[in-house]
Homo-oligomer: A and B are copies of this chain.
Amino acid sequence: MRDNSNRSAGRPTLEEVAARAGVGRGTVSRVVNGSAQVSPKARKLVQDAIDELGYVPNRAARALVTQRTDSIALVVFESGERFFAEPFFGRIVQSVSSVLVARNLQMVLMIAQAPEERRQLEGYLTRQHVDGALLLSLHGDDPLPMILEERGVPTVRAGRPAHPGPSSLVDADNRGGARAAVTYLQEQGRRCIATITGPMDMAPGIARYQGYRDVVGDGPAAAGDFGEISGAMAMEWLLANYPQIDAVFAASDMMAAGALRVLRRAGRRVPEDVAVVGFDDSVIARHTDPPLTSVYQPIEQMGQEMVRLLLAKLDGDEPVEHETVLPTRLILRGSA
């Protein structure tokens, strides 16, 4: 019951379009791929046939010959826990997604939490499957970017690694953001500005601390791990050792939230007695009491830029490596 002549069962193929337009396969292919080597007349013929038939190229067939899949991976090296706790990821995902859709590329999202998944991932990415990868939240000196680049899978990562690697890179101006926050506190007349830092083995942690030091030098500082508990503990320590504190710059909103709690418990009013500034401008910033003044990172822009760099790499018309640093901005709310 097959009928491979005129209108076959499934979707129309290139060949059918060609037949209908009265041209050869090659011509249709050229039209579809926007080649200039087609006469206006033929182009019109083909275009009409395409429209009538509702032709859409078969991705698999194309991929088979071009060796391109037209899909790119967005890899998040994070536990599920953190992945959905941090609004950062959602926003990156979302912005990357919209750029990719516009470019008619597929976004394949991969979350690699367990070490075993991590391993599987490497195999997955280095084989066929995707044309390139966007790497989010790489930990420490993960060798993955190196491996991928070696095997010919272009990568772009978010955030600066401890050691420079082969990936292109998009980062936010953490240092500048911290500087802006602390400067603002100073301008508000705060005299004793403390900081709760992030982990000092992570690039953003270091950069934000540096920004703080740029402004006030050796002020009261306590280390946290970006998490809320650590923020509370750091705040307690600061209060005990520097009771004269009238402002705190925390390197994450979570830590700022923890600090807020401790401050309230200690009977200090925010912002009257102690001003608090966070970092990330995350959802929690809007839901603490008072709402948190926080440093905003242009996450959407970061996503877009990552895609742009990756595509440039893919098209090969850009130098191999590139680095973009995007500006941060202080968002004022009630806490400072």
Contacts and interface: CB of A to CB of B under 8 A. Distances in A.
A107 B109 contact: yes
A101 B87 CA distance: 23
A328 interface: no
A80 B95 contact: yes
A150 interface: no
Interface in A28-53: none
A95 to B, nearest CB: 7
A86 to B, nearest CB: 9
A11 interface: yes
Contacts of A287: 228, 257, 284, 287-288
A162 interface: no
A128 B59 contact: yes
Contacts of A83: 90, 94
A283 interface: yes
A111 interface: yes
A73 to B, nearest CB: 9
Interface stretch (A63-71, A170-178, A192-200): A63-71
Contacts of A325: none
Main secondary structure of the interface of A (DSSP, over half): helix
Given A63-B60, A93-B109, A129-B59, A85 B120 contact: no
Interface in A172-213: none
Contacts of A137: none
A97 B85 contact: no
A291 to B, nearest CB: 10
Contact of A127 (B11, B107, B111): B11
B110 A97 contact: yes
A113 B109 CA distance: 18
Given A60-B60, A91-B80, A94-B84, A128 B283 contact: no
Contact of A61 (B64, B228, B264): B64
A289 interface: yes
Contact of A89 (B63, B90, B123, B127): B90
Interface centre among A63, A74, A98, A287 (most CB of B within 10 A): A287
Contacts of A60: 60-61, 63-64, 69, 128
A260 to B, nearest CB: 9
A295 B89 CA distance: 25
Contacts of A80: 91, 94-95, 98, 300
A142 interface: no
Interface string A130-158: 00000000000000000000000000000
Interface string A210-244: 00000000000000000010000000000000000
Contacts of A127: 11, 56
Which 10 A/B pairs are nearest by Cβ-Cβ distance? A84-B90, A60-B63, A80-B94, A60-B64, A109-B109, A56-B127, A97-B111, A84-B91, A60-B60, A84-B87
